[in-house]
Structure 1
């Protein structure tokens, strides 16, 4: 590892931005976006875990679905990080910092049945949805309509995924369990 360091901007700081958003307002939005970024990576890793461990009759459909969802979450995280950098902030970028700033709790390392796993994902998504709604209001209240719009678009995607998980968790299924005779 290179021992020579030139720090261009310290983590946790917000500098003047070319978007002409007041630094005090930008600080509030950067803090909210860093929480969204941390939450996204917690969700990303949990979804990835479930993608790796899914089993059963509907394995392939759920496996593919979970990959689509975690890829969307990763894309959203990248967009959030780039936006908060444009606002003059420093995106959280290491696992320790991300874990410390996340507002959602991941499930533990154990492997659960897919119904339990999806229920855990749905619960986390619900928490993130509520947070996004608050952050849309915060950004727009501070005059940052572009961040509000970005979060709205991401909110629509996560709500759609949550709705699909809700359908997976319904009782109706084409899979028939064999009757014990």
Structure 2
């Protein structure tokens, strides 16, 4: 543990930024981005859980797909935190703070069949898509077009992954049900 006696920057504070975005506007965007950051980490952990626990005939494909998605979510979270800092804010970093500020509800600790797991992911991804769209409008409405553009790119990636999850959940499959069902 560090022996540092005082914090260099206090969580929840907003400093002037070199980007010349008014501090009052930056505060609103920082709040939205900290929510996005918290939601991203909840999604990241849930996807990672499903990556660890997937089994069955489609194991390898789903295992790889889930890894791709959680890696993209982690990259997005990193970009959000860096943008937040550039705007003069302090990114949420502790697990407690992230959990408290997330607007999405994670799945519990139990392991579910992959269909249920993907349905839970689809629901969370949809909630994050809606929130991201609102935050793009907020940022651009406050004149922060760069944040809007960053979020737009993340939204496009998340929407693509969401569409793929939707395909995995279709009834059509080449895998035959076992005779015991």
Q: Which residue of 2 aligns with 1:6?
A: 6
Q: How many residues matched?
A: 180
Counterpart of 2:53?
53
Q: Deviation digits for residues 27-84 of structure 1, max 9, x if unmatched?
A: 0000000000000000000000000000100000000000000000000000000000
1:88 aligns with 2:120: no
Alignment of structure 1 residues 136-151 onto 2, 5 Å = 136-151=136-151
Hey, what does 1:106 align to over in structure 2?
Answer: 106
* Counterpart in the other structure of 1:115: 115
Show CA shifts across 1:106-148 (max 9, x none): 0100000000000000000000000000000000000000000
What RMSD in Å do the two structures reach over aligned CA positions?
Answer: 0.8
Q: Using the TM superposition, give the Cα deviation of residue 2 of structure 1 relative to its aligned residue in structure 2, in angstroms.
A: 2.5
- Bigger mean CA deviation after superposition, 68-77 or 168-177: 168-177
Deviation of residue 6 (structure 1)? 3.4
Tell me what 1:34 maps to.
Answer: 34
Q: Distance in 1 between matches of 2:134 and 2:74?
A: 21
Give the Cα separation in 2 of the matches to 1:50 and 1:176.
22
For 1:4 and 1:92, how far apart are their aligned partners in 2? Answer: 20
Match of 2:134 in 1: 134
Structure 2 match to 1:69:
69
For structure 2, list consecutive stretches of 5 or more residues without a partner in the other structure: none
TM-score (norm 1): 0.98
| CA positional deviation for 1:9 | 1.2
Match of 1:162 in 2: 162
TM-score scaled to structure 2, two decimals?
A: 0.98
Structure 2: how far apart are the matches of 1:59 and 1:162?
19
CA displacement at 1:167 relative to structure 2? 0.1
Q: Which residue of 1 aligns with 2:176?
A: 176
Q: Please give the alpha-carbon distance, in whole angstroms, between the structure 2 residues aligned to 1:102 and 1:176.
A: 39
Q: What is the Cα deviation at residue 13 of structure 1?
A: 0.6
2: CA distance between counterparts of 1:41 and 1:15?
A: 25
> 1:176 deviation in Å?
1.4
